[in-house]
Structure 1
Amino acid sequence: MAQKRARTGKKGVATRARILDSAAHVFRAKGYAGTRLSDVAAAADTQAGSLYYHFPSREELVEEVLRVGQERTSGFVRRRVAALPEDASDLDRLREAIDAHLASVLEMGDYTAATIRILGQVPEDIRKRRLHEQREYGTFWRTLVNNAYGSGSIRADLDNSTLRMLILGAMNSSPDWFRPRRDGLSTAEFKIQFESLFMEGLATSHSSSRSLDRELAAVAAAEQTVAERALTGDKMPEGAQRILDAAAKEFRENGYAGTRLADVAATAGIQTGSMYYYFKSREHLVVELLQLAWKRTDDLARESLNSLPANATALDRFSTALTAHLLSVLRNSLFTSALVRILGQIPEGVREQTINQQRAYLSYWRELLQDAITSGEIRDDLDLSAVVMVLTGTLNWAVEWYHPEGKLTPEELADQFTMLVLDGMVKASG
């Protein structure tokens, strides 16, 4: 009889784990508001009664998904760092934490992406409890970085808080795009590329030698050109713009499946029927929203490069693209945040209508990087596709943590970011 209960217990544990894994996947794909317990039961291939036995409500289920995701990553990273020899350097501890965190989020991509997309959508009491756990893990990382600074292992011209958030953002955004393939990078190879990019950039052998003045001047000139073009060209109707602004807010807060046209109309302060004058459906609305988000950044990046002096180097041009992208996403933060949170949730047919624009922009970045490699300014051992995705993911993620009232202006943040990643890519002298 005891043997039978043991088997039942193991079966219950396995069922519970399967439900949690399925829930993480569904929450990632549909957001909190768009997920029903019946969706999770179907994904877990279990009866609704079995799901309710383990999780009587959606609130209990989502909190457990968030808790498990956070604790698995936090516990795994802490154990890896604690297992290092006592005489391990502060830089070695930071490197081990990066390797462990990246390994964890790539293995548990659904949990990581679900947390990113729904933490702001769950009931306030759940959000507060999960934020508390998140802050404890953040304190662990803050200690690692501060210790490395204190021992002189990290260059002093990088802001410690900014460095921490940039690295965490780069890692947490990776599950949204990285897929190990036979014809591409393996997980181990990607981790080497990632560590090389960031650990090289923060090394004390580098010092601040590049000025971002030309890049910032080019972006400022481009912003003026883009603004003037908007006044003289085909201007979007005010009503359509108001609806898109409202849609960005609603999609960001409620996800794709959890947003109704009626919600968007209410936020825009119009009748639902009035929306159909501009947008035929929710799908049409989200396509226009995503295309506008990509177009604003793409236009500013290309125009910024056009504003550079003729003697700008290939590295100057790529640095300008980095700067323009970051300033664009921060100044259009609501659109960028909506894009980041719903891009993986929209139907494939809808995504296909925006994918060409996205691919063209990323291809443009790869060309800029290739030019810098050809000119001998950037190392030739970098995987261009991976580097482009890491960098754009890191920049887009900045909207989730950057606060305008903080100690860095957007321009200063751009300076910190370009300093870190370009010094991690430049070709060693000699």
Structure 2
Amino acid sequence: MDTPARLTARGVATRERILLAAARLMYVRGVGATLLDDVLATSGTSKSQLYRHFPDRQALIEGVVDLQCAQILARERLDLARVRSFAGLQRWATALVENNALQNGAYGCVLGSMTSELAGQSERARLTIKATFDEWVDLIERALGRLRDNDELRPDADTPNIAIGLMAALQGGYVLARTAHTITPMRTALDLALGHVHQHLRSTTT
């Protein structure tokens, strides 16, 4: 995420405080239901401070999209880099389910939520979210590649499509969990997707 040039340390802190407050509100309430006055109250900043860093609401929304995408990719790069076995892939999926369970599945994936609200309104936001999803899928595919390199996954496994299937199960699970306010559908969707991966292991006794 780019920071405006020549900001003082205090200015950088103010900008980050505004972004974090806006990101939290937009995640819980939705982008459309989050008012600038809400952001001001939550961040403890003035209108002049907000408009100095974000000239309009659209600029603030785009800043939030950049922040959320960067945070998700930082987490997934770290977590998926650890996946070198099918058991590791299961641990990765379980961690996502358990993290969502902290909210009883109420809010879902921030990327999915932003996509539903912004894809038809902001081309810049859509492209940023698309690039994030593309890299996330690529990270999953690389993890599957390590399973193949370690002779756990069969050489003929279609890792690009399996990675897309895992992402589709994950995002669909988020949506169903958000609707039901329980992570059970998310766990079920990922278990089924992992079952498909299991079918492509060299030995199905794992």
Q: TM-score range by the shorter chain?
A: 0.5 to 0.7
How far off its partner does 1:343 sit?
4.8
1:305/1:357 CA distance change after superposition, 3 Å: closer
Contact map agreement 1:250 1:264 (CA 8 A) in 2: no
Matched with 2:196 is 424
Matched with 2:143 is 368
How far off its partner does 1:367 sit?
0.8
For residues 228-377 of structure 1, the aligned pairs below 5 Å read 237-248=16-27, 249-251=29-31, 254=32, 264-268=35-39, 270=41, 274-304=49-79, 313-327=84-98, 333=108, 335-377=110-152
The share of aligned pairs that are identical, in percent, is 13
1:394/1:299 CA distance change after superposition, 3 Å: same
How far off its partner does 1:356 sit?
4.0
Task: Write out per-residue CA displacement over residues 194-216 of structure 1, whole angstroms, 9 at most, x where no aligned residue.
Answer: xxxxxxxxxxxxxxxxxxxxxxx
Contact map agreement 1:279 1:285 (CA 8 A) in 2: yes
- Cα distance in 1 for partners of 2:87, 2:151 equals 13
Counterpart of 1:317, as a letter, is G
1:388/1:276 CA distance change after superposition, 3 Å: farther
How far off its partner does 1:429 sit?
3.5
Contact map agreement 1:291 1:357 (CA 8 A) in 2: no
Contact map agreement 2:85 2:146 (CA 8 A) in 1: yes
Task: Write out per-residue CA displacement over residues 328-366 of structure 1, whole angstroms, 9 at most, x where no aligned residue.
Answer: 566663734522313522433443445444433322111
Task: Write out per-residue CA displacement over residues 128-178 of structure 1, whole angstroms, 9 at most, x where no aligned residue.
Answer: xxxxxxxxxxxxxxxxxxxxxxxxxxxxxxxxxxxxxxxxxxxxxxxxxxx
Contact map agreement 1:362 1:388 (CA 8 A) in 2: yes
Matched with 2:7 is none
- Cα distance in 1 for partners of 2:191, 2:130 equals 30
- Cα distance in 2 for partners of 1:407, 1:358 equals 21
Counterpart of 2:192, as a letter, is L
- Cα distance in 1 for partners of 2:22, 2:173 equals 25
1:329/1:287 CA distance change after superposition, 3 Å: farther
Contact map agreement 1:243 1:275 (CA 8 A) in 2: no
The answer for unaligned runs of 5 or more in structure 1 is 1-233
How far off its partner does 1:236 sit?
6.9
Larger Rg: 1
Matched with 1:130 is none
- Cα distance in 1 for partners of 2:133, 2:166 equals 14
TM-score of the superposed pair, with normalisation by structure 1: 0.34
The answer for unaligned runs of 5 or more in structure 2 is 1-12
Matched with 1:197 is none
What is the CA RMSD across the aligned residues, in angstroms?
3.9
Counterpart of 2:171, as a letter, is N
Matched with 2:10 is none
